[in-house]
Structure 1
């Protein structure tokens, strides 16, 4: 035995696993103390434990049992939809919250999560190696970790082990009925609904939502089997990765039984020739194979713009997603995707699962993880009176100093409002010294939250390297973007407040609370001596309108679509100092000079309404001269061809007030696509903007005539 270590009672631990399995429960085992002693203690214990599907999360060479699969926290997403019996998490090597929350969802009944960490009293000042990745290695206190330590210390279900002290395990009573994994009434109802949907009418998509561990993947697999047995020839499945659908394929195979002719990793074929196939999402969209039914599992982890393409590409599509999970995407997915469903397929259906399958309802580990990471945080403003601006109080707020109830309420509001708000965001919000937050409340009830961060302030030398593309500095998203892409090093030297998240409760919208929060943040930034207030967001017309209404001006749009939303990142800013004003003016003037060349090269697929708004918001750089006016008159009269007119029409788009006038015209989309984005006539025809070249040119001629007669003075 190693000096200083008390050997674990292997019989007691095996008995604990068996008792937990019988009760349908799981537990966290917190191994506190020196890492080397904890490793030795575990090495003495693991040979006697049930390890089927066990994971070691940490450095692979440190794994203490050959039966454990070693993974890095960054690979946690690949384990969605899979099962494990034991997790050993080496917290001394880093604790990314998203990955930790995700992997606990894979533990089945009887499972143990061993978490190697320093003593709880040291957590607030523990230099977690994961902090460096997100800029939290600042050496100050970490309220997020302190909060977790407090929750763990107060939870009687947590088994706390000191390797140098004897350990007493909890005595668990035998259940009245031993837990077994079986199809729940919830699942049966979902299977019936899925089969009816798969055999039913077209364009009635089904959205399935559930917390993790509710057996939605299994239900999808059993329903897929039923559909194949009842006459469907092709059922396609997609997900973020093939590993996500292991349970789906396993249950489909089991349900088909002797009807399976052939089965491999990606395909099951029945004796009648019907097939269940897996295709990665992008392969599915590229190949577009025929299928009566498409099932999308783990849909919240797939960008919404890809989900929309699947929705529109096949007659019957089912989407399954978690609503509370480490992805932080579940409820944001439900809210955001609901808008698309309402517009494209208003007769869509929904189904939820609430009863756990892999563990018992009220499982201590599920409740603990949910509390640690606020996975189930709900915003509940209660019964608000008709909100009036005078009743709303907006003030600076520190989430790290808030009560647990107020923190959960505010975080729940952010989760509801944003596509992807994760446990890692909660840590960043609480621990980042550069964070600045404001809260709006009515009679003490939170109705709005704004979270920002101070960025920039780089030295002139470093700012010049950033602007030239030679260096990237972690964080500082907005200053670095403006410096490197707009070409102004001073953007990285100046200091600004970037608004990261803003949310207003649904019951209190459209009375100016959002604008009030932005105004409070901008005023706070000026008081702090910052040069600008800005934001970066996935570009859409409604968001652009909001930020413009707050006084922010368009300064940049990214060249690549965001992986999560499929939208181009748009950046807007409001100057708070003389230096900031000079910078914003220079950036906008340069963007306007380059705009007409950049648009057709980079943003041909940008939504035309947003393009029109951004173009209208740029400084007027082009003024038609006498020759241009004459060409416009000739074009309007049908005496000059469109191809010769493109330069003039593009320049005209940046004339003072022209695009603001064009935005209200019924042919605004045609103008943006044909003139600014350079679409071909066949492309325009496929979009339904014209019936061909002659029709398209005639429509544009009419616009030009109306502009000359009724538009702004040229």
Structure 2
């Protein structure tokens, strides 16, 4: 006999399926009681597909496959009837928000947790991954508990011990209204989806270089639409359509719908491909293999695009004649808004005739689904920037210190919305980090009754000197302390970890208030905090982009490091900037900048060949000069500019000239600057320069460089003094 009375789940599931709903079942109690309760309840359920996030032995007792929370991406694009999330094993906000979107109508999420009253103090195992385990209070979890307590669609179960089973037996499932005739929910194509399929087919048969971007919340049928359109294209004559995504599991639904549409025209299939009787093929390629193999596809479809690094997306965009990108608007990867905002720049520049389509009508559940509304609220997935009616004047802006964990819901959503829209990828876990980090400091800019700017920072460093030395030697790595550890281990200065600094994590300003100094005023508030608290430096780390670098320079920070590896999310190289506040901090910032300035030209051709010339010039103009040209150098420059001295013989002095005082600032904006950066600093050969359109060949490229040196000599004479 079960330890707990079984509820009539099967009837309840049939009811909510007819209504097009899904529900969260919050199972509150000690771990053993929660596990026993949910295992007993699952015995009476008839589920086609279920998943257990937690321990594999617990899942085996319930007859479900098990994954660890970090493996959640493998299940995106699939459909579930039941999801059991063992919160006692850890609660990844990204994973929970993503997997909730895989449930179809009639689906249930069983969330095993302590009683709501204990959430603020609950030692969630996932905190260790984020360096939050020492936080005395978890505002993010406490806020979630308040949201759940107020949510009418949540089924709360008290899984008590055996001696208190009578209390558990009184749990009843909510009574639900029966849908009227003709109102029963059915999964089927919406008018929006049918229009999208037709548009995808026209795109796949149409002119080249007109990419299509599809954005939608989860459950809107974008993957199904891609699959149906892919099949239509094969039947219409396209010989090869390729699909790519972070993993094949993300496109199982796409392939299933393609298979159904092909019907009798499907001749054979493998694990990753379908082939028609005419020999036309739909195939899946992982992104890295796609870019390495370069199959001759007429159409490429990219699903879950926001989960793919931006630099790979750009390569796919430029590598095939017709590319469609599909992205989830609200999900674990942050937002399709952030994806669209950042990737829009690439699309506008490379393929200005691109098109965008948005799906809003759910397919796998009804519009009034309680679970979707709950997930959106729990993780602020629908937080976004609300444009102001008019441009807001900076005259009425006030700056104030602020704690997001203490804010009301409306204010928190408004502030978080600014961060969401200003950054490429904002995840649910970022919200948790912001609310729970005990070292976090935040400031708001207000104007006319609304939030127009927000800055989020965190205190780092302050490590014991012995530990800082271990970090500098690469023998120890700690959770958190991103900037302090990076500058110690990669910059080579243990003081970066032993000193205390404030790292600005993010800063965002409302679109109508940009360009009025609001961002710089927020940075100034952070600088004053450093001075008041006796911190040594103010710093930041971000994906290298010229406009951002200029903002930080105008705010008083200087470049001290450029990362060797591209960031996975944006494909940009991380730039780290610093401003010393204390005397020791000023000395550290100057030492780091001087050290980087002395090293970066050696590293340029080895690691940063892909960095844009604009970014290189922005970095270079910020660095202290490391070279003083000699009389021989000036003679060689004159021989190259006005004689026939060859490029290779002049290259050493051209490199030295690049590291001389003010040269990179002088170079910025000149027509020949791209050729200079690529040929002199980044080590590109002339054939690569010609193929990429930087010059017509070696002769023309050298002529550009000679002309550039002539202009420099005209401005600075023979000895580097202005004429």
Q: What TM bracket, shorter-length normalisation?
A: over 0.9
Q: Distance in 1 between matches of 2:291 and 2:693?
A: 22
Q: 1:658 maps to which residue?
A: 663
Q: Which of 343, 352, 372 in structure 2 is aligned with 1:346?
A: 352
Deviation at 1:699, TM superposition (A): 1.8
Deviation at 1:18, TM superposition (A): 1.3
Q: Which of 11, 16, 22 in structure 2 is aligned with 1:15?
A: 11
Contact 1:379 1:408 in 2 (8 A): no
Deviation at 1:79, TM superposition (A): 0.9
Match of 1:585, SS state, is helix
1:171 aligns with 2:175: yes
Q: 1:322 maps to which residue?
A: 328
Q: Deviations over 1:405-456 (max 9, x none)?
A: 0101111111111111111010110111100111111022011111110000
Q: 1:71 maps to which residue?
A: 67
Q: 2:207 maps to which residue?
A: 201
- TM-score w.r.t. structure 1 length? 0.97
Q: Deviations over 1:508-555 (max 9, x none)?
A: 111111111111111112211111111101111111111111111000
Q: 1:548 maps to which residue?
A: 553
Contact 2:50 2:80 in 1 (8 A): yes
Q: Distance in 2 between matches of 1:293 and 1:594?
A: 44
Match of 1:48, SS state, is coil
Q: Any unmatched runs of 5+ in structure 1? A: none
CA RMSD, 1 decimal: 1.3
Contact 1:449 1:503 in 2 (8 A): yes
Q: Which of 21, 27, 30 in structure 2 is aligned with 1:25?
A: 21
Q: Deviations over 1:263-284 (max 9, x none)?
A: 1221111111111111111111
1:155 aligns with 2:161: no
Q: Which of 228, 243, 259 in structure 2 is aligned with 1:237?
A: 243
Match of 1:209, SS state, is strand
Alignment of 1:686-705 (within 5 A): 686-705=691-710
Match of 1:554, SS state, is strand
1:304 aligns with 2:310: yes
Q: 2:41 maps to which residue?
A: 45
Q: Distance in 2 between matches of 1:330 and 1:695?
A: 43
1:191 aligns with 2:197: yes
Deviation at 1:475, TM superposition (A): 0.8
Q: 1:93 maps to which residue?
A: 89
Q: 2:55 maps to which residue?
A: 59
Q: 1:284 maps to which residue?
A: 290
Contact 1:159 1:169 in 2 (8 A): yes
Deviation at 1:686, TM superposition (A): 1.6
Q: Distance in 1 between matches of 2:464 and 2:339?
A: 40
Q: Distance in 2 between matches of 1:337 and 1:540?
A: 13
Q: Deviations over 1:232-278 (max 9, x none)?
A: 11111111111111011000110110000111221111111111111
Contact 1:50 1:85 in 2 (8 A): no
Q: Distance in 2 between matches of 1:138 and 1:443?
A: 39
Q: 1:36 maps to which residue?
A: 32
Deviation at 1:673, TM superposition (A): 0.9
Q: Which of 559, 563, 571 in structure 2 is aligned with 1:566?
A: 571
Q: Distance in 2 between matches of 1:329 and 1:207?
A: 14
Deviation at 1:139, TM superposition (A): 4.4
Q: Distance in 1 between matches of 2:223 and 2:48?
A: 21
Deviation at 1:485, TM superposition (A): 1.2
Q: 1:593 maps to which residue?
A: 598
Q: Distance in 2 between matches of 1:182 and 1:113?
A: 23
Q: Distance in 2 between matches of 1:87 and 1:618?
A: 54
Deviation at 1:8, TM superposition (A): 2.3
Contact 2:6 2:44 in 1 (8 A): no
Q: How many residues align?
A: 709
Q: Deviations over 1:36-57 (max 9, x none)?
A: 1122222222111122210111
Q: Deviations over 1:601-625 (max 9, x none)?
A: 2212211111122112110121111
Deviation at 1:62, TM superposition (A): 2.0
Match of 2:126, SS state, is helix
Q: Distance in 2 between matches of 1:322 and 1:279?
A: 20
1:606 aligns with 2:611: yes
Match of 2:189, SS state, is coil
Q: 1:126 maps to which residue?
A: 122
1:429 aligns with 2:437: no
Deviation at 1:634, TM superposition (A): 1.2
Q: 2:162 maps to which residue?
A: none
Q: 2:252 maps to which residue?
A: 246
Deviation at 1:310, TM superposition (A): 1.1
Deviation at 1:66, TM superposition (A): 5.2
**Structure 1 residues 16 and 665: CA distance shift in structure 2, 3 A:** same
1:117 aligns with 2:121: no
1:355 aligns with 2:361: yes
Q: Distance in 1 between matches of 2:191 and 2:716?
A: 64
Match of 2:490, SS state, is helix
Quick check: 585-594 or 80-89, which moved more?
A: 585-594
Q: Distance in 2 between matches of 1:216 and 1:688?
A: 37
Match of 1:129, SS state, is coil
Match of 1:86, SS state, is strand
Deviation at 1:390, TM superposition (A): 2.0
Q: 2:714 maps to which residue?
A: 709
Quick check: 651-660 or 592-601, which moved more?
A: 592-601
Match of 2:604, SS state, is helix
